[in-house]
Amino acid sequence: MRVVVVGGGKVGYYLVKTLLESRHTVSLVEKDENVARRLAEELGILVINGDGTNQYDLADAGCDEADVLAAVTGKDEENLIVCQVAKKYFNLKRVVARINNPKNERIFSTLGIDVTVSSTSMIAKMIEREVILDKVKTLLRFDRGDISLVEVDLDESSLACEKSVRELGQKLPVDCVLVTVLRKDRAIFPRGDTVLKPGDIVLAITLADQEDELREVLVGRRK
**Residue 128 pLDDT:** 43
3-state DSSP call for residue 131?
helix
**Residue 115 pLDDT:** 60
pLDDT band at 133 (very low <50, low <70, confident <90, very high): very low
Least confident range from 14-28, 48-62, 104-118, 140-154: namely: 104-118
Element housing 30 (H / E): strand 25-30
Share of the chain above pLDDT 70, in %: 86
The answer, yes or no, to whether residue 181 has pLDDT greater than 70, is yes
Under 8 Å between Cβ of 222 and 152: no
Task: List the domains of the chain with CATH numbers.
Answer: 2-118 (3.40.50.720), 134-218 (3.30.70.1450)
The answer, yes or no, to whether residue 54 has pLDDT greater than 80, is yes
**Residue 144 pLDDT:** 61
**Residue 55 pLDDT:** 96
Average pLDDT value for the chain? 84
What's the CA gap between 137 and 131, in Å, rounded?
10
pLDDT band at 223 (very low <50, low <70, confident <90, very high): very low
Share of the chain above pLDDT 90, in %: 44
DSSP class per residue in 147-199: EEEEEEE--TT-TTTT-BHHHHHTTS-TTEEEEEEEETTEEE---TTPBP-TT
**Residue 182 pLDDT:** 92
**Residue 127 pLDDT:** 36
